[in-house]
Structure 1
Amino acid sequence: MAAYSFSKNVQQQPKPTLKAQLDSIFKVTDANNYVAAIDLIGQLIKDSEQQQNFTYLFHGYNLLSVSHANLRDTVQSLNYSKKALHYAQMSKNDTLISWAYNNLAADLSAHKESQAQALEYYKKSLHIQQRLNDGEFNDAALNLAELYHKMGDYKLMREYLEEAQKSYDPAYIYFDNPLIHLEILWGDYYVSQNVKYRALESYNKAYELIEEKKIDYLALDFYERYAQFLREQNYPDRAYEVQKRFMEYYKNQENLKAQETYQLAQAKFEAAEAKRERNQAKLQQEILDNDLQRKKTQSILLASIIVLMVLFLVYLFYSERLRLGLIKNLKFQNANLEKAKIRAEKSERAKTRFFSTLSHEMRTPLYGVTGMITIFENNPELKKYKDEISSLRFSADHLLEIINDLLDISKLEDDSFKLVKKSFNIKLLVEDVINSFDRNRLRNAQCTLTCDIDRNVPNYVVGDARRIKQVLLNIIGNAIKFTPKGEVCLRLTVKHLESGKHQVRFEVQDNGIGIPKEKQEAIFDEFSQLEELQLREAKGTGLGLPIVRKLLEKMGADIEVESEPGKGSTFSFELLLEEATLLQVTNTNSKKAPIPPKELPADFKGLRFLVVDDNKINRMVTNRILSNFKAEVQEASNGKEAIELVKNQDYDLILMDINMPGLNGYQTTQIIRDFELDVPIIALTASVENYVTRRALESGMNDVISKPFNTEKFFKTIHEQMARRSRAMH
């Protein structure tokens, strides 16, 4: 749990941000002004609800729980802990959820009747901490060990002590060093197992650490029973030393405040006595009559005052200790969380750069492979190897699919990812999806693919057709992969809403091998491979379903799975779609009106091409493809060589690589454009990021072709640029 504070604004000022409100609450709670803190937390919760910010709603209710706990209002504290957990789950922030479970369990563990529920929440918190694996100490495991110790279950106590011990990092900066708590609990465990020498070792280590750090509240909690243990083990000198240190800590914490309070009470008493003596002559008779009663009353009053003062001091001591501990713990946790956030952001940027670099480095040699395959396919002398070449083509295309999956994962984690919403025919899209699965693949799997569309599903809707198609292809492909013999059915139903929108439900049902319930969430983890489910022919990258979930999250939906081993699986999701208007449909169809195909030239005879690429194999492949169509091809291995060739010779078209040593493709093109404006320059690159196309056009290139390319698209792009140049010259 955590304690926060807040400062008041006296003058009318612009409303502070949620973060500023949260920081201000720390200041109020630092001053023990919990009543004022509760008012300010209420404003934070109100503003967070208006902004639908679940993270700050969690912090608000968590602060309310802590404030009421400090005011000894345990019922309200428990209620607000439950609300904090609710909003932590809404935020989908695993760290906040782990905190919320841990704090709620701490509230519940204080009562014997709710300890079973506390165990469940501690375990949920620990599960999240283990999954995050962010280097922090698994305090939930330590709490579980302590609770099992209270319950007398020493076997489970040891199990969770070992789990907590594994997560302890001596190099990590902790508030309230968990090693001390570990050693104390290990000592308690060994006492329960009657292994006294091991208990003595752990207790001694805990004592040394407490003395080293001068942690007073741990000394007050631990030293008395440690001294008792030492006496039982016949270490009287050591026991005396520990008991003496306990008393020193106790006196240092208690006596100063107790003495000040007692002196104040004594001074007030003496003042009252002096006043009584000054009026003694006048009131002597009355005093004699009431002396006995007055003395009894005064004695009772004084005793009551002293008892109340002592109780008040005890309350102040423990509340102050709790408050300071919570504040320090929160500050350390915030510092560690900030470090973890920075590490995560660096890791995410590094991963994105890695995927981008990996894609380029894999596409470059893959272009050489696919290019040679294209040459082999067009060579009549190699027709007898048609099946072998076809197998090579399949393997190369499969490798390209894997590279594209890696890029999709990287792009989906980028905030710049945007959906493109246009009108489309949803029934034609489904038909296109079904037809994209070739009959050979289905026949090899001995699987049938069917489709069932509710007649009430509208024809035209508005959405990102490309991404919906990608989702369906991944889910159906996965279903076919794990249905070696059987049927896969795509089913669409619709529910019309009062808002005029349509809630379209997509279901992909198969009767394949199925997935155990405990494994159903793991299939959505990146690179997940459930080995016990894998068929020999059903291997993959494990990226299909993670891509599906991330795409659906971008669309405001989620995927659900129902499955039973041996009986099959059903994957489903629902999309809220608007029905397209007639104008939207007309505009879409007009944009997609077919353009009459232009005949590609039978050959490039009489045309001169320049291929610029630092990779020798890639130059050879491009040269061979163009030469097969009778083009005259020259090569340049770098930008400087390409510039000299263009200065001294005329070319009809230049194919330019981007990533080259020395002058890259952009720089080379800019220099060529200074003296040659007409020749078409097409980027031929393994990079597929959006910024590549933008920079290519800005540098003076006319178009971009990604390697490895589709041969038809390659020649079509060349033809379009040649035709454009021809029109410009006339």
Structure 2
Amino acid sequence: MKNLSILILFSFFYTSTFAHQDQEVKNEDEISEQIQQLLSGAESSILQYNFDAAIRKLDSSMVLSKSINHKRYIALSSNILANLRYIKHEYESSNKHIKRAIAIQEEIGDEIGLAYSYIQYAKTLDLQKKYSEAEDYLDLAEKIYTNNNNREQLGLVALNRGIVELHHENDYRKALTYFNNAEIYLSNSENEYEKSRLDYYKSSAHLSLGNLNEAEESAKRALAIANKNSFAGIIISGNRKLSVINEAKDQPEAALAYLKTSYRTKDSVYDLNEAELGREANSRYGQDALKNTLSALTLQNAEQEKSLKVNKLTTILSVALITILSLLTLSLYKNNNLRARANDLLQKKNSELTLAKENAEKASLAKAQFLSTITHELRTPLYAVTGLTHLLLEESPTENQKEHLNSLKFSGEYLLSLINNILDLNKLEANKVEVMQTTFNLKRRISDVLVALKNSADEKNTVIHLDFDKSIPSKLKGDPLKISQILINLIGNSIKFTENGDIWINVLKLKQVEKTVYLAFEIKDNGEGISKEKQKAIFENFTQGSTEINRKFGGTGLGLSIVKNLLSLLNSEIRVESDLGKGSKFIFDLKFEALENPALGQSENLKEEKPVVLSNDIMMDKRILIVEDNKINQMITRKILEKNKVICDVADNGTIAIEKVHNNHFDLILMDIHMPGISGIEATIEIRKFNETIPIIALTAVTLDENLDEFYLNGFNDIIPKPYKTEEFFNKINKYLAANAESTV
């Protein structure tokens, strides 16, 4: 009771003091200073991911700003609140607050605040994939900062332009140029957060370009600044980035350590915000209880003046209330014990889940490394099998021998198809496939696919029909390689299950909105068909329509799974309509950017380009250098070429190849990649220093971990993966021999 009396006296003293203070009028300068402190504290809390504390400070600053009708502070509060929503990925809410800030700043003519809001709005638009709008707002901000000669803020514009370039065009070198400009502008800046953000995105660009050492240095600089200033977001992302870099450098222990640090930081941020919520709830509960106590005391005093009987009743009610509170305290104590036991159980389960996740990641890494190694090891002897089979078939075998050799050739091609499909699927599952954007002619691309599949269709006595909508623009922007891969798998699947029949490929324009074209693709056949119960399962790995179909037609059951994954990567999905014994129809939609509209009234007169058929006669008396360290592979490649009257020379390694090219004339080079001494890539770089015109084709067993772009960037004209189909081998060689002959005319 003594403690209760002290509480009541304190409450009366606090109430009277608070009422007295409310009667005083604060001047505008004092309130402005208080608002500035709140906004500064809110920004610090946001960078430390203490969102609940930030929201309380922003709410207080907004109330004070409105009390003095200070529009600049109202706009600034909205701007900071938009940044908070942006960091929490609540983009619609962020857009609403930033638009309010922009409207106020335009009204009062606050150019500097307006430019800062433009940058914040551009950051949100970038993450919403509205890249053109983001660029427009960055242009507006840059114009203001250029007029005011504000170098630091121009650095922020350059930084965010680089980030948009990373996300939109995937032009990592151009992004690095922007980041380097931003680094110059921000060199004397005290804005530690933007400096750490700059180093983080430089690390992303270097990583995408394969510059692992530069990527690691930039990430560590970002992390050092973030740790010093408690920038929680950069700490979480920076540790995760270093985990990816160390994994790419084949340093799994370091990668795991960084990943654990990232998760620990993330968990601590969660605990911090949870604690803030708890303190806020306790604060509210305490204030409510205090108000109830004061109300009860006021009522008690009024009733005491009226009657002593009411006083007795109040005393009885107080005793009852104390009893209820005691029971409530006991209940809360028991609940806390139960909660503690539940927390212990949850922590144990979290530890088990973390361990399971780590084991799964290790298993996934081991699987990728195993596939990379085993496929390369399989390709080398498989090249000898397919090459020797081709040579034996060319040497007039007996009918019995020819039958056996054809079976051997079929088995080799089947095994090669299986290896390629497993590699493609593993790349998709490991997220190592990126969508490229380039200009191409869709009809020509489909025609090339049909030419490649013509022999397979002829063997099945199957006719392929193409119906291509003439209103489709001739130039589209998209990923032609993935389109080809999807069509080869789908049309090849139809050929396999259609004998003495027809296949129809229909491409229709659904609609065009400005420069975006929506197309529908349909591949239809009158082959075996698929039962209703099996139609969903056929897109799963290693699944076919039935055991009987597998025995009759063969195959791995991976082609449609690859198609499904590729279409998912292109933001589409495949649908199937089929009846058993009546054929199948596969349908999917894709969107492209149209770079050119078809000329009206001229679509019927457009001449269709026919693929040029190259003859092996082009190879006669041509000099080809074979760079290969494997003696069996040397012999096979040489004999295949000499059958077509090619003059061959052999180099056992890259050093000998450079010397021979320097001292002799060759019409073409077939270059292996993995050789003792200098590699095929290094040899090609050296050759290009004194001979830029000779066609160089990489003849190699390409593995999962190798980047095909590296070949083209270092001077190769094309790639022939081993083992190969002889027709494709000759076709590529003839293509470059013919092109080289034309250029010398």
TM-score, normalising length: structure 2: 0.49
- Higher-Rg structure is 1
TM-score, normalising length: structure 1: 0.50
